[in-house]
Amino acid sequence: MSSFFSIIASDQIVLVDFFAEWCGPCKTMSPILKDVKSSLGDKVKILKIDVDKNQRLATALSVQGVPTLILYKKSKVMWRQSGVIPKNDIISKINEFL
């Protein structure tokens, strides 16, 4: 958990995807996030967190449903949303904070 907090503390924007292996919408988000990463490259770091393997972290961050995306900049939550989100919406949101 401490490595999570050091990653989100960086100057780089970090998009955290809280997901579960059994979650259908999470499987839909996976290729969308790959497209986001290929579009934005080094402008964003994408971190995937399996809520079943990281229950304490998910609870500490009040992640109630999956998928949940949280955008961090210097440890501050810039944006948070649950559910399947289109690629262009994610990119637009990230660009607001670049």
Q: For the packed helices 87-96 and 24-40, what is the interaxial angle rounded to 10 degrees?
A: 50
44 — alpha (psi -120 to 50), left (phi > 0) or beta? beta
Residue 90 dihedral angles phi and psi, to the nearest 5°: -65, -45
CATH number, domain of 47, equals 3.40.30.10
Q: Which of 4, 7, 12, 23 is catalytic?
A: 23
Range of the domain at 47: 2-96
Tokens of 92: 């637009």
Give start and end residues of each alpha helix (H) in the chain: 2-8, 24-40, 55-60, 87-96
Mark whether 83 is an active-site residue: no
pLDDT tens per residue across all 98 residues of the chain: 679 999 999 999 999 999 999 999 999 999 999 999 999 999 999 999 999 999 999 999 999 999 999 999 999 999 999 999 999 999 999 999 99
Q: Which of 8, 20, 26, 36 is catalytic?
A: 26
How many domains are contained in the chain? 1
Name 54's Cβ contacts closer than 8 Å, sequence gap at least 6.
1
Tokens of 15: 């998009």
Mark whether 88 is an active-site residue: no
Write down the pTM of the prediction.
Answer: 0.96
Token pair 């290729």 in the structure block, residue: 31
